Amino acid sequence: VILDFTKAQAKKGFPPSHKVLEDRANAILQLRKGPAFKVGESWVSRFLDTHNEEISVYWSRSLGRSR
């Protein structure tokens, strides 16, 4: 679910930040398991490592520097 969300957001031109990925994962986990559950500290890094063939981290520059 999160992989599909990430791809859809990136296609729209708004790739999610690490915080957005963590918040989305926490929301899904809490809906399934209860409000006391949260993903671990390095969950986002492991998620990105696991799916590195489909998604990757991209650092953008400001528009002014690009011109």
| Model confidence pLDDT, tens digit, residues 20-34 | 999 999 999 999 999
Using CA atoms, how far apart are residues 41 and 50, in angstroms rounded to an integer? 16
Query: C-alpha dihedral over 29, 6, 20, 14, to 10 degrees?
Result: -160
Q: Report residue 64's pLDDT band, with 50, 70 and 90 as the boundaries.
A: low
- pLDDT at 58 exceeding the cut of 90: no
pTM: 0.78
- pLDDT at 45 exceeding the cut of 70: yes
- pLDDT at 2 exceeding the cut of 60: yes
